[in-house]
Structure 1
């Protein structure tokens, strides 16, 4: 098996699987983002985080730095609803660190209703911005740097509901399905960019039923959270995508919960 550190050309002598890789995390201030920053830093990556909430982002970045002394973890308040701002973030990151090897898209949100008839179309407008528009901007901004990496990863966290929508989740499921389709289109762009040599980067989707974290369990000690994915397990799955060949990973869905 080819040594992945040599193949990628990452610099550094640490033991982490991502030692020297530069990984950006969009939507990094929530529980999933905090777990992601911690895990990527533990694996040796340079972690570049963004979120619209400056205070929560600073807390998440500080926690990752404290947990892994010497780790490079930075935070930028970025308006991902602006393509110009998102491109500026990608350009700044590549210029500062010389490369970008991953973009993990964690920007989320949920809106729903009791029945299909009660669906509020304003929910679609909100979810379109959160789940689709931000993804469009990060994919367009980071496509080039990820291709230049030679082993890049563009990773979307999606929901099982996109494949089996329920009546009260029409807007949410449709938004997630659109985000998945957009990500797979990026994967096709990577495939075409590589030609016979194989894709220089991979776009993939990690599918969960829902996410759970320690605080949720503490708040609801009797809840089962059946089929939920712990944010720490999600972070581990993301780190593990770099152990898969790029051509094998590109354009796939990785199910972290049983398929509906």
Structure 2
């Protein structure tokens, strides 16, 4: 990968896959990665929304390589095939940004609907398990790979009505930290060649949310554009410095 010299940053020419690329955060990340010079490969289950997100990134950054694949990330074989196809086509994979999200909550702990857990387990945990298993080896082969999970502060301080969501986020964090340990062990004495990092926010906000709720303050929320910048910044630091770390974009609870 091109290093920071001659005006080129660490993402210039890098190949980065984005899981859950069609949502507001995904759109912002596609734009920021394209701006940084990366080859961006987005995946989402919603083909129409993914096509819109890919077209927007291409339009904003003429000449950037931004593609989209409709992938069912709940299917491990399909996820592995996506990783294999991407590495074969571009010769490398330098990053996987996991943005598959979802939220369910209740008015109280007693009113928790376990159907919410079933859904969040699939969205927040199972998709992460599949992307991490599919992309671990390519990221290690990269020499400077990054696996990035976006998590929520609620995972560290669950509230009564957010039991299912916080538990799913906590499980996703633990899984990602285990991947980080695998990277650490694979690197041996020379240090990890890839890193698994967790970016922690209180919640995310975007322009559409502000337009729909003009009087809301969204105090402490992280704008999706700020998140996108923070994600690209993970490549600016050595793998050993960010591997297995929670990088807080909001005050720790």
TM-score range relative to shorter protein: over 0.9
> Matched residues in 2 for 1:38 and 1:6: separation?
21
CA–CA distance in structure 2, aligned partners of residues 52 and 194 of structure 1 = 34
Q: Distance in 2 between matches of 1:14 and 1:137?
A: 36
Given that residues 95 and 139 in structure 2 are in contact (C-alpha distance below 8 angstroms), is that contact kept between their aligned partners in structure 1?
A: yes
Match of 1:172 among 158, 161, 165: 165
Q: Secondary structure at the match of 1:204?
A: strand
* Whole-angstrom CA distance in 2 between matches of 1:6 and 1:157: 25
Query: How much is the aligned-residue C-alpha RMSD, in angstroms?
Result: 1.4
2:156 is the counterpart of 1:163: yes
Residue in 1 aligned with 2:212? 219
Residues in 2 aligned to 1:173 and 1:123: alpha-carbon distance in whole angstroms? 12
Residue equivalent to 2:70: 77
CA contact (8 A) 2:4 2:10 kept: no
What TM-score, normalized by structure 2, do the two folds share? 0.98
Matched, 1:136 2:129: yes
1:233 to 216, 226, 233: 226
Deviation sequence 1:71-126 (CA, Å, 0-9, x none): 00000000000000000000000000000000000000011100000001111110
Q: What residue number does 1:32 align with?
A: 25
The CA deviation at 1:253 is 0.4
Q: TM-score, normalised by structure 1?
A: 0.95
**Counterpart in 1 of 2:60?**
67
Deviation at 1:61, TM superposition (A): 0.1
Unaligned ranges ≥5, structure 2: none
Kindly report structure 1 stretches of 4+ aligned residues shifted beyond 3 Å: 13-17
For the Cα contact (< 8 Å) 2:3–2:9, is it kept in 1? no
